[in-house]
Amino acid sequence: MTVKPTLQHAYVSLMMDVIGRGLVVANQIDPEIKSEISGFPTNFVFSMKVFPKGPSFVIQIQRDHQLKLLKNFSGRPDLTITFKHLTHAFLVFSFQEGTAQAFANDRMVADGELSYAIRLVRCLNKMEALILPKLVADLAVKEYPKNLSLKEKATEAASIYLKIAQSYLKRST
């Protein structure tokens, strides 16, 4: 019997949850992410997970192009981004390796239409650029947005963090 690396699993689980909630919220706040999401069809379902049955999130595009986290989804998503191992997810979520580098190193795979995977990665990159300190975001994303002002970053990051916190408070009541 193998023992799971408990701390990595707990950290990746938390980060999957934060990223899922963060995407839902960032889509409500950031015009660039909204624009990317508007290119997805209604009821499109995408997920991010760790192989084989590790931490994950599933999101559905609603009719109004808002995002909805799905709990207990049992269907097949239209797009799934899969980390091949918990350690690979940990490298990305601990900002030791960027998403593009993880794809290049064959640590994650996309199952679904490539154009949608590219859109999703752009959304993830923009969200990370918004919510992470620039020094950390430079490690996480392939290219930090040149047109992201400090004011825009601070305002949108504060809004995203507040709404994520509120989503956790709603869940606990």
Q: Give pLDDT, residue 3.
A: 40
Q: Give pLDDT, residue 168.
A: 86
Q: Give pLDDT, residue 41.
A: 96
Q: What is the CATH number of domain 6-160?
A: 3.30.1050.10
pLDDT of 1 over the 50 cut: no
pLDDT of 58 over the 60 cut: yes
Q: Give pLDDT, residue 171.
A: 67
Q: Identify which of 138, 137, 130 has the alpha carbon closest to the alpha carbon of residue 33.
A: 130
Strands 79-83 and 45-50: parallel
pLDDT digits (tens, 9 = 90+) for 65-94: 999 999 989 999 999 999 999 999 999 988
pLDDT digits (tens, 9 = 90+) for 102-118: 888 999 999 999 999 99
Contact 129, 144 (CB under 8 A): yes
Q: CA-CA distance, 122 to 128, in Å (whole number)?
A: 10
User: If you search the block for the tokens 């994650």, which residue do you land on?
Assistant: 108
Give the rounded percent of residues in the chain with a pLDDT score beyond 70. Answer: 96
Q: Give pLDDT, residue 103.
A: 84
Q: Give pLDDT, residue 23.
A: 96
Give the rounded percent of residues in the chain with a pLDDT score beyond 90. Answer: 62
pLDDT digits (tens, 9 = 90+) for 140-157: 787 888 888 889 989 999
pLDDT of 2 over the 70 cut: no
Identity at 106, one-letter amino acid code: D
- Average pLDDT over every residue of 20-33: 95
Average pLDDT, the chain: 90
